[in-house]
Chain A
Amino acid sequence: MRFKKQALAWAMTSVFAFSMVLTGCGSNNNKTSATETKETASQPASTTAAATETATEPEPAKLAPVELNWYLPAAPQKDTKLVEKALNDYLKDKINATVHLNFVDWGSWKDKFPVLLASGSNVDIMFTAGWSQFPQSVAKGYFADITDMLPKYAPKTVENLPKVLFEGARVAGKIYAIPTSKEIAHTNGFGYSTELAKKYGLEEQLKAFQTKIPTLEDLEPILAAVKAQDPNVSPLGGVYNMNFAMTFLDFDPVGDQNIPGMLYKNKDTIVVDEYETPEYKAIFNTMHKYYKAGYIRKDATIVKDATADRKGKKVFLIGGTTKPLANEEIGASYGYELEQFSITTPFITSNDTQGSMNAVVASSKNPERALMFLELVNMDPIVNNILNYGVEGTHFVKTDVDNVIDFAPGLTGQNSGYFPNAFWEFGNQFLNHFLVGQNTKKWDLFKEYNDSGVPSKILGFNFDAEPVKTEIAAVANVRDELLPSIATGTVDPEIFLPKFITRMKQAGLDKIIAEKQKQIDAWLATK
């Protein structure tokens, strides 16, 4: 059980370009100045004090007892009941609420949460995210509009979380969720085995990419060298749905990446059909050249999971996101040393800010109390750490160093009765205690990384897909049919790209783009 939990959470972290070390290091990162709470003896000073104040603000005597149901995707924990009890004992004096933590395992999440929401089941707080149908859920009316209630019931959260994060939680100007404070920007790039790089004598060339961002064309000498020296290694790998045009050009996706119609990165607010841009075509042409040269595996269009090949060092350049230290963490899990370089500059889109949020469900009978609880989750270190580490003495113990904890004697992240390892779901991460052995350099790097991120021109805009859902459904199949072979270079884009564009237009692409443009223009007009 433990192994799985840890593994899952680990995978999720990487997916959302998150950070946490395999051995279960607690993690936190934030744009704000919280990073000084690291291993030094200093208390998470001001925040803690502030949080305690907030928590005592409402008069507990006046509050009638309520029950709150919180649903989150995470591996179910053996000692959840125990932790709930500790949490609720603490909450009683603060907000007089009994909170139930409902962990839904990852595999069931996508089936279960829509049913819970639609059936009007007893849910008060629901985890949500851009990748977990946040905009659709808002459109369906599942989540409560908390714009007006926020300042009243969660004032410190509003004050402390980076403003840019709240932009992602807005739909049509209203706020529908409280985002988790997490890394905000993204960069795309590649990782590679240092051992292989040395073997092929490519170290210098690859190092150069760290200072000068390469284009796809710039990679050719590398790929050619790998191909020439080791025919068993696929120089560029290639995976189903890995659209290098998208990763190199880093277009602003205007919401869900699977819905076509995008903006050039930081240029203007005109929605274009990305497949008709010369930049896309150039990349597809290069990909086709690479495919013919054998840099890309022949079955790239259907390989969905290349993990095994990557672990087995059968792929040289491994595509992905390149947050700081990602190479170390992923390298550790692959079992060899990885180095990385970026192919884009840090960029912040709504997708990045919507990575992890918690919404108050519209049918909740106690939205105020739910917000008061979320306020504690985001601002009260005691609540936050119970959620992340469980009960002190049972699951974790304090160490001599202030704010650094260890698992209780005999326990590890793998056999502890409570270690969801989902720090990024439980509100403000910088309230987390640190686990012994955690890399402390990381947060400075992250802060720097986040600060360097350039926000999208339409950050805070959420596309309402309802008016064109028929067209979206239609283009999805055209895309699935033709794009994988074009994007992986398997077929000649000179022939297939025009065909693809025609088919997309037949399926209603133009209507989607017009709708996106219309909504963006309307949104810009209100700003």
Chain B
Amino acid sequence: MLRLRNRTKSRSFLYELNKNKTLFIMLIPVLIVLIINNYLPMFGVILAFKDFKMSSGNFVTSLFSSEWVGFKNFEFFLNTSYGFSVTRNTILFNGLFIVLTLVTAVPTAIMLNELKSRKLAKFYQTAMFLPQFMSWVVVSFLAFAFFSVDTGFINKFIVEPLGFEGIQWYSEPKYWLYILPLVTIWKTLGFNTIIYFAGISGIDTELYEAAVIDGANKWKQAIHITVPLLTPLMIILTLLSIGRIFFADFGLFFQVTQNSGALYPVTLVIDTYVFNALRVMGDPSMSTAVGLYQGVVGLVLVLGSNLIVKKINKDHVLF
């Protein structure tokens, strides 16, 4: 029975291959890159379960002859008092970023599309994209110029003139619940807007013209045409972000907070925790273990959300 099914499966694959030869050929270039760049080196993940020792001149043979240590390389982040808070911070911040991105980027793209002056729209688009180019180090300097206790703009020009004592921004975790999302949106809005803007550009204008004839105003057009047509894009981008929900933006959490220990209860996320942890040892097995763990969590979450999407609308699934 099983064999039979296998045979029909392989036969149908050959049939497909033959029928859609051109389509398969179109896949080849990307597949070559993926195989060389991603799938061939994938054997390296077993490093996560090994205590790597260089026993020969060759990485591969050394890797395979190294001792298996089970999940020992995972212990340093799973088995600590930080486990809970780090996981919570990572997921909550990233979750917040996903939602905020959706509710800001889509309206911004729609607004941008509706502006009467195309020239100004292009100017806005370019300007909004600029923060994307500022490395986190530069952003951290700017943030410091704002938040420094003694010399920061906020304390010097707002807080102190109002007669309050300067706020110790870098030792008060509560403020960072707002600062970090703000900085993130500021930096990524231009980027995300462009995707949705391109999505809107791809919408057939005939649809809007038909709507005008039906007497729909702009607001109705946005709700009934633009948003529904952008939904697949919104879903896919959200699914992709969910896959990366366990990967935090290192620069944001490390540089912008100046890695201030006092903020750790709020700002310590997986990537910064691991960075601090491995700065001393620099152990490749342990960093591979973390990457694997982050990937597995991401995969589980994406498969789950993908299933939900599938139940609601089959056309919008990631795969």
Contacts and interface: CB of A to CB of B under 8 A. Distances in A.
* Chains A and B touch (C-beta atoms under 8 A apart): yes
Interface of A: 114, 117-120, 133, 136, 140-142, 240, 256, 258-259, 297-299, 301-302, 304, 362-363, 365, 465-466, 469-470, 472-474, 476-477, 480-485, 490, 503, 506-507
Contacts of A120: 54, 56-59, 62
Given A114-B284, A256-B280, A470-B72, A482 B80 contact: no
Nearest to A485: B262
Interface string B38-82: 000000000000011111111100100000000010011101111
Interface residues of B, number: 42
Interface stretch (B187-195, B214-222, B253-261, B311-319): B253-261
B150 A298 contact: yes
B261 A133 contact: no
Nearest to B152: A299
Nearest to B53: A141
Interface in B135-159: 148-150
A135 B279 CA distance: 14
B10 interface: no
A473 B278 contact: yes
A469 B280 CA distance: 9
A477 B260 CA distance: 11
Interface string B107-141: 00000000000000000000000000000000000
Given A301-B261, A473-B76, 4 more contacts: A118-B284, A120-B62, A477-B273, A506-B81
A476 B283 CA distance: 14
6 contacts: A141-B55, A142-B54, A298-B168, A363-B57, A363-B58, A485-B171
A338 B221 CA distance: 72
Interface of B: 51-59, 62, 72, 75-77, 79-82, 148-150, 168, 170-171, 258-262, 264, 268, 273, 276-284, 286
Contacts of A484: 260-261
B57 A362 contact: yes
Given A114-B284, A133-B282, A507-B81, A298 B54 contact: no
A27 B276 CA distance: 36
B280 A118 contact: no
Contacts of B79: 470, 474
B261 A483 contact: yes
Contact of B282 (A136, A481, A490): A136
A140 B54 contact: yes
Q: Which of A302, A304, A465, A490 has the most CB of B within 10 A?
A: A302
A113 to B, nearest CB: 10
B282 A476 contact: no
B273 A299 contact: no
Contacts of B57: 120, 362-363, 365
A141 B63 CA distance: 12
Given A136-B281, A140-B52, A119 B150 contact: no
Contacts of B75: 470
B308 to A, nearest CB: 35
B282 A482 contact: no
Contacts of B281: 136, 465, 469, 472-473
Nearest to B80: A474
Nearest to B74: A470
A259 B148 CA distance: 31
Contacts of B284: 114, 118
A114 B282 contact: yes
A52 to B, nearest CB: 34
Contacts of A114: 282, 284
B280 A474 contact: no
Nearest to B282: A133
A301 B149 CA distance: 12
Contacts of B261: 301, 480-485
Q: Which of B260, B262, B280, B286 has the most CB of A within 10 A?
A: B280
A103 to B, nearest CB: 21
A301 B52 contact: no
Contacts of A465: 280-281
Contacts of A298: 149-150, 168
B54 A469 contact: no
Nearest to B54: A141
B10 to A, nearest CB: 38
B147 to A, nearest CB: 9
A363 B76 CA distance: 30
Contacts of B273: 477
A470 B262 CA distance: 23
B277 A474 contact: yes
Q: Which of A474, A477, A485 has the most CB of B within 10 A?
A: A477
